[in-house]
């Protein structure tokens, strides 16, 4: 039997991206993305529920996210869900569930790019979605394989946080 592990998130960044490097020099960026579900309660009142998602982005795509995204920006993410475990300083087992991004699209933005959408593909390149005067950065000349969330030389265990 085949299985599918795919997450799609369209939300807003709750804080600026955090870029770090593994000991082997691979870039890894974490994003905190909020999605909000709005419903009407039985009394006709509006109910909002915000869910926070931790997103991990690798390599050149991680560097592009850190460079071009900031708190409040809208972002579209496709990836896979992964849960990691570790022991904290007191020896207690801890867990973290996150989305390992395979595709990140930058939506909207500040005044200089208000009507722009750029899709950061795993190769680090961009595809312009709307017309604008902004010239996207050049594609990464040496794309890494991100089909499983990161280059072969790094793993989530290498993340220094």
pLDDT per residue as tens digits for the range 12-65: 999 999 999 999 999 999 999 999 999 998 888 999 999 999 999 999 999 999
Give the residue from 74, 84, 97 showing the smallest Cα distance to 9.
Answer: 74
In the chain, where are the structural domains located?
Answer: 7-38+47-106
* Whole-model pTM over 0.85: no
Residue 146: what are its φ and ψ, rounded to 5°? -110, 20
- CATH class of the 7-38+47-106 domain in this structure: mainly beta
Residue 106 CB neighbours (<10 A): 22
């Amino acid at each position: 039997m085949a299985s599918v592990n795919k997450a799609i998130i369209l939300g807003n960044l709750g804080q600026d991206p955090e870029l770090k490097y593994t000991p082997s020099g691979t870039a890894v960026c974490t994003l905190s993305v909020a999605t909000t579900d709005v419903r009407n309660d039985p009394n006709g009142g509006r109910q909002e529920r915000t869910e926070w998602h931790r997103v991990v982005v690798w390599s050149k795509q991680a560097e592009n996210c850190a460079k071009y995204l900031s708190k409040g920006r809208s972002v579209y993410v496709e990836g896979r869900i992964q849960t990691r475990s570790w022991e904290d300083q007191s020896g207690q087992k801890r867990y973290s569930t996150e989305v390992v991004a395979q595709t990140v699209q930058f939506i909207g933005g500040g005044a200089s790019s208000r009507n722009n959408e750029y899709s950061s593909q795993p190769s680090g390149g961009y595809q312009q979605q709307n017309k604008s005067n902004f010239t996207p950065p050049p594609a990464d000349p040496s794309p890494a394989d991100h089909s499983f969330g990161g280059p072969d030389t790094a793993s989530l265990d290498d993340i220094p946080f």
